[in-house]
């Protein structure tokens, strides 16, 4: 199936900017997956809802798997990583600082088995503009009381975030069940379809 054919198929359900079929570097044959870029999350949602597990291509034995590309939903949720926090910092102190730049929807300080801070946190703003304002105002420029180094603020690296949360969960389970083996994190491969909404110049890395 060509990129033009995939584009035409998805345009039945949503506005599409671009289609990129993933091909084998050596043979240039399709690897059975592609990225579909939509102009907005609303348009991407239309295509996902219309096609995921609902549309089967000619010659295929199972329906399409149409999902957001790995990490895109997290990026769309305006999530930041904050590092170099003092070990004794509280959620209230972090909230007081970052609330100056917008409405916080979520805040989590990562903690060890003894509930001591690991010196980092994840937080989510209501809008992308608020998250960007906080990043630009605080990253490398603000020191919290009790710390000799400025805070590090960046867009959340979703894979590192997952690893951190998995490690924290495993540690918590191990402390609650000392005789049980810690579970191994599940590893997921690339999805057959992915939607990558444009970042509109907000500086994601």
**DSSP secondary structure of 59-112:** T-SS---EEEPTTHHHHHTTEEEEES--TT--HHHHHHHHGGGS-EEEEEEEE-
Helices (runs of H) and strands (runs of E) counted in the chain: 6, 8
pTM, whole model, 2 decimals?
Answer: 0.51
The reply to whether 104 and 60 lie within a common domain is no
Q: What is the pLDDT along the chain (205 residues), one digit of tens a residue?
A: 899 999 999 999 999 999 999 999 999 998 999 999 998 888 999 999 999 999 998 888 999 999 999 877 767 778 899 999 999 999 999 999 999 999 999 999 998 878 888 999 999 999 889 999 999 999 999 999 988 999 999 988 655 555 665 666 666 666 555 443 433 333 333 334 444 444 433 333 3
The reply to whether 56 and 78 lie within a common domain is no
**What is the tally of structural domains in the chain?**
2
Are 78 and 128 contacting, i.e. CB atoms less than 8 angstroms apart? yes
Are 24 and 205 contacting, i.e. CB atoms less than 8 angstroms apart? no
Domain region containing 8:
3-68+190-195
């Amino acid at each position: 199936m060509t990129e033009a054919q995939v584009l035409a198929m998805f345009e039945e359900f949503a506005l599409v900017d671009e289609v990129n079929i993933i091909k084998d570097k050596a043979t240039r044959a399709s690897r059975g997956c592609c990225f579909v870029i939509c102009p907005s999350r609303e348009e991407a949602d239309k295509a996902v809802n219309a096609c995921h597990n609902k549309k089967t291509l000619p010659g295929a034995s199972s329906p399409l798997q149409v999902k957001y590309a790995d990490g895109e939903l997290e990026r769309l949720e305006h999530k930041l990583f904050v590092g170099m926090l003092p070990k004794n910092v509280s959620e209230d102190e972090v909230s007081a600082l970052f609330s100056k730049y917008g409405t916080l929807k979520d805040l989590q300080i990562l903690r060890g088995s003894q509930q001591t801070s690991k010196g980092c946190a994840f937080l989510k703003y209501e809008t992308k503009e608020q998250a960007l304002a906080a990043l630009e105002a605080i990253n490398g420029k603000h020191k919290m009381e009790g710390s000799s180094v400025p805070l590090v603020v960046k867009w959340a690296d979703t894979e590192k975030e997952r690893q951190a949360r998995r490690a924290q969960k495993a540690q918590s389970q191990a402390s609650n069940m000392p005789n049980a083996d810690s579970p191994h994190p599940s590893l997921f491969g690339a999805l057959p379809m992915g939607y990558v909404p444009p970042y509109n110049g907000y500086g994601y890395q």
